[in-house]
A and B are shown apart, each in its own frame.
Chain A
Amino acid sequence: MTMEFKILDSIPDLTNLKSFTERYFSKRYITNVNGIKNNDIMIMFHSNRIALLSLAPSHFFFTKANDFKVNYSVGNVNRLRNSVKGKSKKGGQHLVPKSVVCKIEYDDGTSFDVPCCMKGTLVEVNEELVKNPKLLKECPDEDGYIAIILSSIAISEATKSEMLTHEEYLKVLDSFEIND
């Protein structure tokens, strides 16, 4: 048997490329959180139930040009001090849908909270956003993710089904535009 296998046998259709998050995650959305217009959150669920918290593209954050900082210190909790141990991620901060994961603070003194929108354990925050906040604006669905959250399969499935799918989200946005 003479066989020569080359990696070049596997060039895919380049017109339909998916990004890293599009390949492995399902994106879910929630709009107008806490009744605040365009306070829109996106959670990306991996097939293994790990969730990445981000800002949805329709968030009012993306329309404001001011310089900003990401502050993971909320109330008396410093999310940067979060640490987890072992497979079960013991010791991670507990999060409920209303928990504030971080604050975005503008140079004009205003700020807004980023809510978690699900119940779970905080596994990791994106420390890079503290040093390099523009990632949040430039690539919110990749390097600009805000936090990694782990919850049970049941909670993760329930949250996922309560939130909007990408198609539903686009429809909701359309209806807003018409209403405006």
Chain B
Amino acid sequence: MNDSKIIKLCKELGCCDTCCLRYIGLKSPAAYEEAKQFLVKYVRDKTEHANNVDPSTDQDETNPPEEIGPTAEQDKIEPADCANHSKEQDQTELADGVNQKTEQEAGSLQNDTEKTSCDRNGAESDEPPAKKQKTDSICVSCIGVLQEENWPQCYAMVKEVLDKKRYECDTFACALSAPIATMLRERYITLCLKEQFADYDADKLLTPLKEAWKWSFGAHLAAHVGITLDSGAVSPLLVTLNLEYPDDLQELEVLKTLSASLFESRSKQRQRFAVEFTRRSVEQALRGVTLARLRAQPAWEGGAPAPRAQARPVSVQAAHAPLYLGGRYIKLSRTLPQTPWLVNGLRMMHSSVQEIIFGPIARLYGMSPDETEYRLKFMSAGREDVDVRCLGDGRPFAVEVSDPQRTPTADELRRMCDEISEGEQVIVKSLVPVSREELAELKKGEETKCKTYEALCIKLSHTEDDELTANGDTAIRVTERDIANINSYRNSDSSRVLLSQRTPIRVLHRRPLLTRTRRILDLTAYPVAGHPQLFVVRLRTEAGTYVKEWAHGEAGRTRPRLQDALRARADILALDVASVDLPWPNTNTL
């Protein structure tokens, strides 16, 4: 097998220069940037090499394609050199063909009809030269996707979208949505190559259309939009170009004959397969296609049908990877839910932590209320009830900003915090960009972190040993002994307090009824000056403990409860989260 011969066959079949490089398996991005010039030089070097060494044996046949050394080749590209050679016209017939095509596509008026006719199929040579040239110029494999003539329109469309969205990003990655017919056409070419060269292995050799497109079109696009092309794994900005070919579906119809059973079974499962021709279904259908069966189809009798029109860009999408801003919020209101609280579509509270935090972020990005709803997402390490404050260092949270134009500056982040905190319902001291990995820590923290609470409680009955004063005063008072009882209370050897909690009634309508075991790791009580019936309990609990239910006992559904430690009936009046034991975000900016 010889690259020159593969190129020759590809040309005869009607492939463009870039597709030729794909079929010989060239994987060097630089080669694709100036595919025409590269191909001219590549073929010339091959021919000279073959002539110099020994015309009777084909050296390349023993060379595995990997050893062609594309990287070595790319270093040798000298556009001026290539251009000179293209003028020389001293190459073999094949090289001439390539040169001729180069000039033709460059808009040269020079048209060597004789040479053109020899590398095209005969049927079309009767047509008027002008029309023939036009049809000829569209590649039968990529339908023009890889041909520079079609690119200016793409550049313009991409530029328009990028100008409109105004990203502040130095790099971009690009993705292609090509006509599906290119898959069928590609299959035809590889079958032809396999027919000619028995050891041609398309799976190993063929450079995917998408890759070749990125290396050729993408590189040129970068110059037009003025930012650097990078891989999708590196650049956060992805530009997707959709190219459409008017005959796409019509051409794929042939697969319904060639792979009848597949499409029949798909049409029976309309629910599952709403679209007939998808990349997946076509790929499946193509697996069983043979050259003989394809050629037996009327449209394919004379080889790959010449495309009637090029694939044209129809839309461009640009999207920047989401930005995550992390911080901790302090909630000072007892009438503020964490997220909008809606009952039957009606708002129950004037605002929410989420909305207060979203405000300045939405303003920075100029988002409308509708846009805010789908472009900002609130995440947090757990949540507290509407009437519970969150004090101390606050609760870790993150906001996902989808498709951000840019990352806010440190100054802007500081200003956002000030704006959030202005209303004194929610305080955020710092906001920092966080990574996706850190985000996972935040979510994991929800199940593992411990929390410290402070609960304001009331003693509602006398303990058995309460001494009633002689003057008949029966007021209930929290005594030193009560405090001592709570502070020494323990019901388990393994931890301070082991609770058995049934799913609280307040969430029972939407959660299964279960009995959970939770631990109170630490428990301290102290009296409240000036309020003899009140006391404060400070407790550290493991994640998932319902503290209010422990304090009032929920009609005995949580056991033991605060009244067991106090030895008198008790209830809770107010609750604060004093600290959430999760060091997050992981910075020292707090």
Contact = CB atoms under 8 A, between A and B. Distances in A.
Contact of B536 (A8, A49, A50, A126): A8
B573 A11 contact: yes
Interface string B516-537: 0000000000001001011010
Given A11-B456, A19-B571, A124 B509 contact: no
A3 interface: yes
A175 interface: no
Contact of B454 (A7, A85, A87): A7
A54 B157 CA distance: 71
Given A21-B555, A46-B505, A87 B510 contact: yes
Given A5-B332, A148-B508, 8 more contacts: A5-B576, A7-B576, A10-B389, A10-B574, A48-B506, A50-B505, A84-B512, A150-B509
Nearest to B392: A5
Interface string A1-35: 10101011011101001011100100000000000
A19 B574 CA distance: 13
Nearest to A135: B556
Nearest to A25: B505
A21 B556 CA distance: 12
A126 B508 CA distance: 16
Interface string A137-148: 000001101001
A8 B505 CA distance: 28
Given A7-B456, A7-B574, A14 B531 contact: yes
B456 A10 contact: yes
Nearest to A3: B427
B528 A8 contact: yes
Contacts of B576: 5, 7, 10
A123 interface: yes
A89 interface: yes
Interface of B: 332, 334, 389, 391, 421, 427, 429, 454-456, 458, 502, 505-513, 528, 531, 533-534, 536, 552-556, 571, 573-576
Contacts of B531: 11, 14
B312 to A, nearest CB: 51
Contacts of A10: 334, 389, 456, 573-574, 576
A128 B429 CA distance: 49
A86 interface: yes
Contacts of A49: 509
Main secondary structure on B side of the interface with A: mixed
Interface of A: 1, 3, 5, 7-8, 10-12, 14, 17, 19-21, 24, 46, 48-50, 52, 84-87, 89, 123-124, 126, 128, 135, 142-143, 145, 148, 150
Given A11-B531, A49-B509, A20 B552 contact: yes
B554 A20 contact: yes
B118 to A, nearest CB: 75
B348 to A, nearest CB: 10
A42 B191 CA distance: 82
16 contacts: A7-B455, A10-B389, A10-B456, A10-B573, A11-B573, A17-B571, A46-B505, A48-B510, A49-B509, A50-B505, A85-B512, A86-B512, A142-B555, A142-B556, A143-B555, A148-B505
A10 B506 CA distance: 23
A132 B141 CA distance: 85
Contact of B555 (A3, A20, A150): A20
A19 B555 CA distance: 11
Given A19-B571, A148-B508, A128 B556 contact: yes
A48 to B, nearest CB: 4
Given A8-B528, A86-B512, A123-B513, A24 B506 contact: yes
